[in-house]
Amino acid sequence: MARIVAGPAHLIGRALLVHSDGSHEGGFGAHPELDRTVAAEARAVLDAGRTGTLEIGEQGSRCGAPLTLLVESSVPPPRMIVFGAIDFASALVRIGTFLGYHVTVCDARPVFATRARFPEAGEIVVDWPHRYLERTEVDARTVLCVLTHDAKFDVPLLKLALRLPVAYVGAMGSRRTHLDRNDRLREVGVTELELARLRSPIGLDLGARTPEETALSIASEIVANRRGGSGVSLAGAHTPIHHDTEPGPVGRIGSVA
């Protein structure tokens, strides 16, 4: 929910309830564009499980006298699960945390999956990836990043992951690895429709080489998938800067006031 905490006296105390399907209840009783703009802007904060403030013009734009809106979320942060405690994972943990995800690192090798190597992770799990995924909770906001690059981990993990109702499944590897992995997945019964969900090689084409650049390319693909972006350069493109994404599962995610 969002409430107006500073602004014209006739609007203070009003609230707008925002649902995860993009619909909203209540309103501010001001300019007709205000409720629509607030719902769209607040949803990005709410579905990240955050509470914070937004500043939006009284007529629903970034121009004009600003209203300060308090956004209160009623859901926890979304999850990012990183499978494979490799050097690239450390950079991905940092950027995932920066984006507001609760980040879990999972690896079957205790020598690599340590707090010393991943101090910013919300959770570190030593277990076989597919066994952990079988028992942990995921939802329609969860993103799964498979960096293990090893068939004995990847195949059972992806067989399960591609059948779960999560937001994103990506796997690291060369194009050659990707083709070989797909063949292995088909052999264990993964369908073409399920394979179509797999983002592999993981990330957008940024020409990335370092762990940090690679993490940025993965995070960029996750954001584009989450917000309905194309991943192309905005310069010269005739596409909207902000996209309307497909509705998610219905449920109250918070309020704006």
E strand intervals along 115-197: 123-126, 143-146, 168-171
**What is d(CA 121, CA 151) in angstroms, rounded to the nearest whole number?**
25
20 pLDDT exceeds 70? no
- The Cα–Cα gap between 193 and 171 comes to 17
pLDDT score recorded for residue 4: 47
Say if residue 45's pLDDT is above 70: yes
User: Which segments within the chain are labelled E, that is strand?
Assistant: 2-6, 15-19, 24-26, 52-57, 66-73, 79-83, 102-107, 123-126, 143-146, 168-171, 198-199, 252-256
The confidence score (pLDDT) of residue 59 equals 67
On the CB side of 236, how many CA atoms lie within 13 Å of its CA?
2
Around Cβ 107, how many Cβ atoms within 10 Å? Answer: 27
The pLDDT of residue 248: 45
Name residues whose C-beta falls within 8 Å of residue 114's C-beta, 6 or more positions apart in sequence: 85, 124
| Res 162: pLDDT | 97
| CB-CB neighbours of 134 under 10 Å | 13
**Residue 134 has what pLDDT?**
97
Q: Are 24 and 18 in contact (CB under 8 A)?
A: yes
DSSP 57-113: ETTSSSSSSEEEEEEEE-SPPPEEEEE--SHHHHHHHHHHHHTT-EEEEEES-TTTS
- pLDDT score recorded for residue 250: 38
Model pLDDT for residues 203-224, shown as the tens digit of each residue? 999 999 999 999 999 999 999 9
Q: Which of 92-101, 155-164, 248-257 has the lowest mean pLDDT?
A: 248-257
Give the residue, 60 or 102, on which the prediction is more confident: 102
Question: How high is the pLDDT of residue 13?
Answer: 64
Q: What is the pLDDT of residue 246?
A: 46
Q: Please report which confidence band the pLDDT of residue 176 belongs to, taking 50, 70 and 90 as the band edges.
A: very high
| 66-73 and 2-6 beta bridge pairing | antiparallel
Residues 186 and 208: their CA atoms lie apart, in Å, by: 29
- State residue 253's pLDDT score: 47
Q: Per mean pLDDT, which range of 21-25, 73-77, 85-89, 210-214 is the poorest?
A: 21-25
Is the pLDDT at 60 greater than 80? The verdict is no
Residue 44 has pLDDT above 80, yes or no: no
pLDDT at residue 17 is higher than 90: no
pLDDT per position as a tens digit, 122-153: 999 999 999 999 999 999 999 999 999 888 99
